[in-house]
Homo-oligomer: A and B are copies of this chain.
Amino acid sequence: MTEFLTLIPPADARKVLFSHLDFSGIESETVSVLQSLNRVSAEDIFALHALPNFTRSSVDGYAVKASDTYGATESMPAYIKVAGEVEMGTRPTLRAESGFALLIHTGGMLPVGADAVVMVEYVQQTGDGEVEVSRPVAVGENIIQVGEDVKEGDLILAKGSRIRPSEIGGLVALGISTLRVARRVAVGIISTGDEVVPLGAEIQPGKVRDVNSYTLSALVESKGAFARLYGVVPDRAEDLASVARHALEECEVVLITAGSSASVRDMTADVINQLGNPGVLVHGINTKPGKPTILGICEGKAVIGLPGNPVSALVNGLLFVVPLIEKLSLQTIDLPLPSIRATLNVNLASQAGREDWQPVRLVQKESIWYAEPVFGKSNLIFTLSSADGLVCIPANATGLSAGEQVDVYPF
């Protein structure tokens, strides 16, 4: 009855899973740029025109021919006639001939003839239709040249980029109103367990409410995927196989949160092997929580067996399901996870060779942030909901010491 798992490190497990998936055939769809926040571009987008597409002033001042200001000083200013003003948003009708300047505002279009702008700070009006310029400008000074932001044909958004507010800004600046993005990934979620009842059902002695369907659903939706819930399935292989087969038809990824007893875990692995080839790739991860996690591929789709324990299910969702959704959304940029630096307030022991993810609370004392582990023998969901993030104890460490700086990863 004892189970023997060959445990492999989480990073290796992810590699095995990803190496069996084909990301090239992922479908895309056209969306409005204004609806594209957090989606991932499915195409390379190039600038249709330069930006700016006219020469602009970068300051408030006077558009001049630079040579008219050469040698100007406070004691020996240059005198230049003001020919008029550049109206914002229009092509100037006046030219800046030698000896003439035009008043111009930040963002105004440089008039023909001018090749620089003198800042208002260095200009005095004489009251005579003339200005005194007390400092010379070089050709091109205080000017934004055509294409200085983006040149025509520049790659402005690479396939695989996640769209942030700044990308939306870049696209609309170029007048692009739609783009192709990766289709949202559908993730099917199945809870199992004879003792598990769905939300809303009455709870009898010995029963517990389904938690994993809802935490995993929130997790995948927060990462831009669709969650499809397939409810709670009793601990019978034929029932699980039938529901999982249905989920596999409708979704790109299927998650099965297994009951936590050894026999039921084996059932999940058996069902994954039945669903299609190659079946189970990894059974057992060298991490805590999450040892019994199963990664499988059935006919080109990922099927992941997560532990039934709500903390394990959510932590392993972060370790495996989130990166999988990112890959299946075509996201190519693979930056480190952002974290909050804090000082560990107690010693944290760990087993060498195993990667531990420890929930911690962040507590500020005298302007220093401390990471305070949240322990929960029962490993129920409140261990996580009272924590602000997770600290990783790497496999090559036997623990972390009080006073050490740690990275706290919010979840």
Taking Cβ atoms with an 8 Å cutoff, the residues of A that contact B are: 1-2, 33-34, 37-38, 51-54, 58, 60, 87-92, 105-109, 120-121, 144, 148-150, 156-157, 164-170, 172-175, 177, 193-196, 199-200, 203-212, 214-219, 221-222, 235, 259-264, 308, 310, 314, 333, 335-341, 362, 369, 376-378, 380-385, 387-388, 407, 409-411
Closest to A380 in B: B149
Assembly CA distance A207 to B90 (angstroms): 7
Q: Contact: B89 with A193, CB < 8 Å?
A: yes
A158 to chain B, nearest CB (A): 10
Shortest Cβ distance from A54 into chain B, in angstroms? 6
- Which residues of B are found within 8 Å of A37, using beta-carbon distances? 218, 221-222
Q: Which residue of B lies closest to A213 (CB)?
A: B172
Say yes or no: A165-B206 contact (C-beta < 8 A), given A194-B88, A261-B106, A376-B149: no
Give CA–CA (A270, B164) in the complex, Å.
33
Closest CB in chain B relative to A395 CB, distance in Å: 17
A131 CB to nearest chain B CB (Å): 11
Which residues from chain B contact A211 at a C-beta distance below 8 Å? 169, 172-173
A385 and B218: CB pair below 8 A?
no
Q: Are B60 and A1 in contact (CB under 8 A)?
A: yes
Point out the residues of chain B lying under 8 angstroms from A340, CB to CB. 335-339
A218 touches B164 (CB 8 A): yes
Give the oligomeric copy count: 2
Q: A177-B200, A336-B341 are in contact. List 11 more A-B contacts (CB 8 A).
A: A54-B205, A106-B260, A148-B377, A164-B218, A165-B314, A169-B215, A169-B381, A169-B384, A174-B209, A175-B209, A339-B341
Measured CB to CB, the nearest residue on chain B to A34 is B214
Instruction: Report the bound CA distance from A384 to B168 in whole Å.
Output: 11
- Chain B, residue nearest A342 (CB): B336
Contact in complex: B88, A148 (CB < 8 Å): no
Residues of B within 8 A of A259 (CB): 88, 105-107
Among B60, B92, B172, B380, point to the contact of A173 (Cβ < 8 A): B380
Give Cα distance in the complex from A167 to B34, angstroms.
30
Q: Which residue of B lies closest to A215 (CB)?
A: B169
> What's the minimum C-beta distance from A220 to chain B, rounded to whole angstroms?
9
Contact A222 B58 (CB under 8 A): no
Write 14 A-B pairs (CB below 8 A) sorted by A numbering: A58-B377, A88-B206, A88-B259, A89-B195, A89-B204, A106-B261, A149-B381, A165-B219, A166-B385, A166-B387, A169-B212, A172-B210, A335-B340, A339-B341
Q: Specify which chain B residues have a CB less than 8 angstroms from the CB of A384 in the assembled complex.
A: 166, 169
Q: Is the CB of A314 within 8 A of B216?
A: no
Q: Which of B38, B194, B215, B378 contacts A58 (CB 8 A)?
A: B378
**Residues in chain B near residue A91, CB distance under 8 A:** 204-206
A212 to B165: give the CA distance in the assembly, Å.
10
The CB with the most chain B CB atoms within 10 A, among A167, A168, A169, is that of: A169
